[in-house]
Amino acid sequence: MTRRLLLLRHAEAASPPGGDFSEEADLARALTAEGRLTAGRCGAWLRAHALAPDLVLCSPARRTRETLAALAPFQPPPALPIRFCPEIYEAPPAALLACIRQAPADARTVLLVGHNPGISALARWLDPQAEALEQGFATASLAVFRMWGSESAEEAPDWAGCDATSLTLDTFARP
């Protein structure tokens, strides 16, 4: 079974209250009503494309947790194993890739729920030739990458070695 990496930017979030741009206020930002609807559409899209993650890596920010919660009703049981990773918040691509590389070898599909600009920069780094990514990584955008050589059960590459030479964009969607 092919390994897949799913990069999901959180859905639309409310502005910080009272213009408070502190990290604490930013981490507490909730999804808007439209954001909750869009996150639900992401879940429906994942289900329609038979993309059920084996592992979720998620920023601890409220808006990423709420985006993830909106996906849950569309995923088959059992509940997804989730790792809340503080290092995903405001992370550059190298830090996001380090999180992905720690995924266990038995995880065939990994979903990372995070923030821009890190998510879009990582996607562009993983597949700089992907024209679909030129339209930008708006909120609730989803990039699906396929790992080269992972179709074979024998000697299949695992997450520890993933990089720009092992992953290629399969699909880019804005459900």
Residue pLDDT, tens place only, 77-91: 777 789 999 999 999
Count Cα neighbours of 33 within 13 Å in the Cβ-side half-sphere: 0
Check pLDDT > 80 for residue 154. no
Write out the E strands in 67-134.
82-84, 109-114
Listed by start position, the domains of the chain span 4-173
Token couple for 132: 């679909």
C-alpha–C-alpha distance, residues 39 and 8, integer Å: 10
- Using CA atoms in the order 53, 54, 57, 61, what is the torsion angle rounded to 10 degrees? 60
Q: What does CATH list as the number for 4-173?
A: 3.40.50.1240
* pLDDT tens for each residue of 32-44: 999 999 999 999 9
